[in-house]
Amino acid sequence: MIFVNSMSDLFHKGVSAAYIGQVFDVMERAHQHTFQVLTKRSSLLRNFVNARYGSGKAPGHIWLGVSVETPKVLVRLEHLQQTRATVRFVSFEPLLERMGKLSLEGINWAIVGGESGHGAPPIQPWWVRELRDQCIRQDVAFFFKQWGGRTPKARGNTIDGRQWLDFPRIEHLQRDLAIA
C-alpha cells in the first residue's frame, strides 16, 4: 500500500495536469500495489479522474480520497461521490468539529483522527462515535487513527474499549467492479 504524496497534494493548483497524468500512468501499470491518493482539491480530483476514465472508473487498486476537517468543507465529500472511482475514502483528520448527519453513499472507507502537536485542540469522543455509528449504519469501513494531543499517539486510539482499524472489505470492491 502506497500513500501517494503523503506530505503534499498531487492535485495542488501548482501541479500540472500532464504531471498528474504521468503519476496515474505509473499507478495504472503497477497494479500489484494499492495506491492511496488523498487531496483537499476535490473538484480538481473529480474533473481529472472523470475526464481520464470517461464512462469507466479508476482502477480498483487506485483509492481516491478527500480530507474533510469541518462541515464547512463537506463539498469535498460531494465531489468525491461524483468522482468515477472504484474505491473512495474520506479522511476526517484532523476532525476539528462535529460533522453532523452525512450521506456516505458510494464511500468505502472513513478515517477519523484528532489533531496532534503543541496546542492541538481536543477531539470530542461523541464526534467520533457519531461518525463511527454513521459508518456502521451505511456499511462504510471505519478506521479510528488517533485521539491526538501533544503527540500523535499521546492518547491512543481506542474508543469504547476497542480499536476500530477497519479497511474496505473485498465485497465492496467486487460489487463496485461488477457495476463498472
Number of domains in the chain: 1
SS3 27: helix
The CA dihedral of 22, 57, 2, 147, to the nearest 10 degrees, is 130
- Whose cell is 503534499? That residue is 8
Q: In this predicted model, what pLDDT tens digit does every residue of 152-178 receive, in sequence order?
A: 677 789 999 999 999 997 554 554 455
Residues 6+ apart with CB under 8 A from 109: 63, 65, 87, 88, 89, 90, 140, 141, 143, 166, 167, 168
Domain that holds residue 124: 2-179
Q: In this predicted model, what pLDDT tens digit does every residue of 93-117 receive, in sequence order?
A: 999 999 999 999 999 999 999 998 8
Report the DSSP beta bridge partners of residue 39: 66
